[in-house]
């Protein structure tokens, strides 16, 4: 069903890409570490591969399936790492002056 030639194929591919973007936000809120984003992304997509294999009773062999999932893995990892690194690199406020109650 994945492919550029049919509207359902294009819709499915767009759904996979939107899913990668929302999962990148999930990495930001649940993982919060830029170094761990790639690990969690590959783990999620590996479990998805296993689920597809069990559900369809055969290993995914179409080129478009693999291309879509490689692109989605790269998008999810890159955007998730970018978002996490933005939070990690925020300045830490250093207010060393003592507070006075005048």
- Residue ranges of domains in the chain: 34-89
Contact by Cβ (8 Å): 87, 28: yes
Distance of alpha carbon 34 from alpha carbon 80, whole angstroms: 7
Geometric angle at alpha carbon 56, from 55 and 62, rounded to 5°:
130
Query: Does residue 1 register a pLDDT over 80?
Result: no
Using one digit for the tens of pLDDT, what is the confidence trace for 23-35?
999 999 998 888 8
Using one digit for the tens of pLDDT, what is the confidence trace for 37-84?
999 999 999 999 999 999 999 999 888 889 999 999 999 999 999 999
Distance of alpha carbon 93 from alpha carbon 102, whole angstroms: 23
Q: Report which DSSP code applies to 30.
A: I
Rounded to two decimals, the pTM is: 0.81
Distance of alpha carbon 65 from alpha carbon 55, whole angstroms: 15
């Amino acid at each position: 069903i994945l492919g550029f030639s049919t509207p359902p194929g294009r819709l499915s591919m767009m759904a996979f890409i939107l899913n990668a973007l929302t999962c990148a936000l999930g990495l930001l809120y649940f993982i919060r570490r830029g170094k761990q984003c790639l690990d969690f992304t590959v783990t999620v997509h590996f479990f998805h591969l296993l689920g597809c294999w069990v559900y369809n009773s055969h290993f995914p062999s179409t080129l478009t399936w693999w291309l879509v999932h490689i692109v989605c893995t790269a998008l999810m990892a890159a955007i998730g790492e970018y978002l996490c690194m933005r939070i990690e690199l925020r300045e830490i406020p250093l207010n060393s002056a003592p507070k006075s109650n005048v």
